[in-house]
Structure 1
Amino acid sequence: MDYSAGSSLFPLHRCKTIHLVRHAQGIHNVEGDKNYKAYMNPDYFDAHLTPLGWQQVDNLRKHVRDSGLINTIDLVIASPLMRTLQTTVGVFGGEGYTDKTDVLPLMVANAGNSYRAAISSLNSPPIVTVELCREHLGVHPCDRRRSVSEYQFLFPAVDFSLLDSDEDTWWKANVRETKEELAARGMKFLNWYEFVIIRNF
């Protein structure tokens, strides 16, 4: 069917547009690209962004604002990992945070060794975290998350209420999620999105 003329099953005002954004470069990516075994390094626990990663965030932030896309975003859903949270608040957060405002920051200064100023939640879409959209689970320390209480301190205006436990119960030290399990989890996330977000947001 040709939709180029503007006809579709649903009018555009009743449709949602989903934008998928991968996290920017993390410290684990640099060595992991050279040697896959580097992903086993415990120093990369809940890996944060590299300086290049933050440059990628700044570039995407500029595009999102210059294109006007930021004005069309109702909600941002993020995986609860340091690199995804840094990417998310860096791209979709408000302008410079000051302590004189009555709103919480999306990110406190230097969260996750970022050497970045605090990021405001003013004029930012709401940001929620969901376990189902996490990366491949298990074995690799970079894919293990911190406790929710740690994240709440570092990212005060991000909503962590949908996470089922303070500690990471999804990541296992000796069992790597299979590709089939990962695909099934991805489908659960899409079903959750459809029934919870699209119908209620």
Structure 2
Amino acid sequence: MTLTHLPVEPVSFKFSTVTGYFIQDEPTTDPATFDYAALNFGLISRIYDAEPVDCQSSTQWQRFAQQIQHLNDTAGPQTKYKVLFLGRHGEGVHNVAEQRYGTKAWDEYWSLLDGDEDGTWIDAHLTDVGIAQARTAHDTWTQQIANGIPQPQSYYVSPLHRCCQTAQVTFEGCDMPLTDPFRPLIKELLRETMGEHTCDRRSSKSAIAADFPQYLFEPGFAEEDELWDPKVRESDEHRNQRLLGLLNDIFASDENVFLSLTAHSGAITSILEVTGHRKFPLATGAVIPVVVRAEERV
């Protein structure tokens, strides 16, 4: 199988972003200067529609969690709300190589190779900077736990090494459920734009399991990478359909409300687009929360 023959499942949900909860929703917020770690993941301090009378004793995060519960409690039977914490992997060796050679030379030549004299970028690993960025995410989650942040009930991660590594540094050892040991579910479709670039070719299932023995694989996860095509680069439109299918799968199969997805710039760009969120490119290691409404198609 190649990416050009990737089956697209029928979409069972219509997705939309519910704005007004995070600064990143607002068109005046500049993605280039926004610091999620310094601003509570961007949570807006506000009064919600259904504030309990004793809300003054609750933190803003606790009130936010109650608001999301209220949205689900009052929604119709075909509607559900989830909060997606979308985290981009930390800086990888391929990101450094692209900066070194420039995007044009990278796309046209260097990205098609296995590496250069400085090392390989096949299924690229994190740099020391990337590991530090993941530690910043770890510290940010730890700080917000004390403020009552609704903790992820499910963790999903791309099969590419840089995402598995970022998720491990971010969540392992956090005082949250499912993080000791940390056992996320690896989802094949959560990966970066596929094809041509060797940094986006994943390792075998056996190699991933050897590096991350606690991680879980979704059913049907293939031993070898059947989707990466050395001659065809996935289009943005195809990537959008792929990530739309991923969301459809998650919303249909996971009853949890607060979800963590550790992925890539391309995957997150597509998730934001198919849910109707404004464009918000993330720096390596950054996180954006999104409130998503899903209406079941009948």
User: 2:242 and 2:220 mapped to 1: Cα distance?
Assistant: 15
Q: Post-superposition shift, 1:10? A: 6.0
Please say if residues 57 and 87 of structure 1, whose CA atoms lie closer than 8 Å, have aligned partners that are also in contact. yes
Could you tell me which of 145, 158, 166 is aligned with 1:87?
166
Bigger strand fraction: 2
Find the residue that maps to 1:72 and give its secondary structure.
Answer: coil
User: 1:24 and 1:32 mapped to 2: Cα distance?
Assistant: 15
* Alignment pair present for 1:190 and 2:247: yes
Larger Rg: 2
Alignment of 1:18-33 (within 5 A): 18-33=84-99
Please say if residues 205 and 222 of structure 2, whose CA atoms lie closer than 8 Å, have aligned partners that are also in contact. yes
| TM-aligned CA distance change 1:147 to 1:123, over 3 Å | closer
Aligned residues: 175
Find the residue that maps to 2:156 and give its secondary structure.
Answer: strand
Corresponding residue for 2:122? Answer: 45
| TM-aligned CA distance change 1:24 to 1:30, over 3 Å | same
Two-structure CA RMSD over aligned residues (Å): 2.8
Letter of the 2:86 counterpart: L
Alignment of 1:47-196 (within 5 A): 47-68=124-145, 72-94=151-173, 122=180, 124=182, 126-196=183-253
Q: Post-superposition shift, 1:17? A: 1.9
Q: Post-superposition shift, 1:123? A: 5.5
Unpaired segments ≥5 residues, structure 1: 96-119
User: 2:142 and 2:150 mapped to 1: Cα distance?
Assistant: 8
Find the residue that maps to 2:142 and give its secondary structure.
Answer: helix
Letter of the 1:11 counterpart: H
Find the residue that maps to 1:138 and give its secondary structure.
Answer: coil
Give the structure-2-normalised TM-score: 0.53
| TM-aligned CA distance change 1:53 to 1:10, over 3 Å | closer
| TM-aligned CA distance change 1:60 to 1:130, over 3 Å | same
Unpaired segments ≥5 residues, structure 2: 1-19, 22-46, 51-66, 74-80, 115-119, 259-298
Note the alpha carbon deviations across 1:73-113, whole angstroms, 9 max, x for none.
11110000000000011101127xxxxxxxxxxxxxxxxxx
Q: Post-superposition shift, 1:121? A: 5.3
| Percent identical | 30
User: 1:70 and 1:86 mapped to 2: Cα distance?
Assistant: 23
Note the alpha carbon deviations across 1:4-33, whole angstroms, 9 max, x for none.
442479615755321000000000001113
| TM-aligned CA distance change 1:94 to 1:12, over 3 Å | farther
User: 2:169 and 2:48 mapped to 1: Cα distance?
Assistant: 37
Corresponding residue for 2:283? Answer: none
User: 2:68 and 2:127 mapped to 1: Cα distance?
Assistant: 44
User: 1:144 and 1:178 mapped to 2: Cα distance?
Assistant: 16
| TM-aligned CA distance change 1:65 to 1:12, over 3 Å | farther
Find the residue that maps to 2:185 and give its secondary structure.
Answer: strand
Corresponding residue for 2:70? Answer: 11
| TM-aligned CA distance change 1:41 to 1:13, over 3 Å | same
Give the structure-1-normalised TM-score: 0.77
